[in-house]
């Protein structure tokens, strides 16, 4: 047991350091092109990343069973309401292995006001959100991936990412 903890502890430490370093932009220019995708949202509307050109897009990978995901949803709802007319878009990408109908019930219960799609193998391959949820990938107005935020995101951090990118034009 002691040996297991000695192995696990450095791995956890390394994870937190790399997550914070990436958030702080310490890994250099993080601006690769965001792959386009088209998918139907839970209400049957077609969603394409390319339709959001000129906006800052938050691709929020989440799941209905995830505690931190549930905790950040109210902040995402509030931020979207406040900043959608200023160029913010949020696309929730459910990684659940349950039916879209069940995810829709969850979305309605939590009153999520931004589009939600089910993740696909292609989206997973293209964006590589990793095994942790929530993970939010932030795409700038030029269609470049600028940030990858692993874990819970509060409304101040969401706002900071948005304000940083929207001011670039």
Nearest-CA neighbor of 147 among 66, 155, 157? Answer: 157
CA distances from 26 to 18, 23, 93 (A): 9, 8, 26
CA 135/CA 58 separation, integer angstroms = 10
Kindly name the residue from 56, 63, 69, 139 that is annotated as catalytic.
69
Q: Cβ atoms within 10 A of the Cβ of 11, count?
A: 8
Q: Does the active-site annotation cover 69?
A: yes
Residue-level length of the chain: 169
CA 75/CA 73 separation, integer angstroms = 5
CA 148/CA 132 separation, integer angstroms = 12
- Residues with catalytic function: 69
């Amino acid at each position: 047991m002691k040996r297991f903890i000695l192995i696990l502890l450095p791995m956890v430490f390394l994870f937190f350091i790399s997550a914070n370093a990436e958030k702080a932009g310490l890994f250099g220019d993080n601006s690769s092109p965001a792959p386009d995708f088209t998918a139907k949202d839970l209400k049957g509307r077609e969603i394409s990343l390319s339709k959001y050109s000129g906006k800052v897009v938050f691709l929020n990978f989440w799941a209905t069973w995830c505690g931190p995901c549930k905790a950040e949803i109210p902040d995402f709802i509030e931020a979207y309401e406040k900043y959608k007319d200023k160029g913010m878009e949020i696309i929730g990408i459910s990684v659940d292995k349950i039916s879209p109908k069940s995810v829709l019930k969850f979305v309605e219960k939590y009153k999520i006001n931004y589009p939600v799609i089910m993740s696909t193998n292609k989206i997973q391959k293209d964006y590589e959100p990793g095994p942790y949820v929530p993970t939010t990938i932030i795409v700038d107005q030029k269609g470049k991936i600028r940030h990858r935020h692993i874990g819970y995101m509060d409304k101040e951090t969401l706002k900071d990412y948005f304000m940083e990118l929207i001011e670039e034009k």
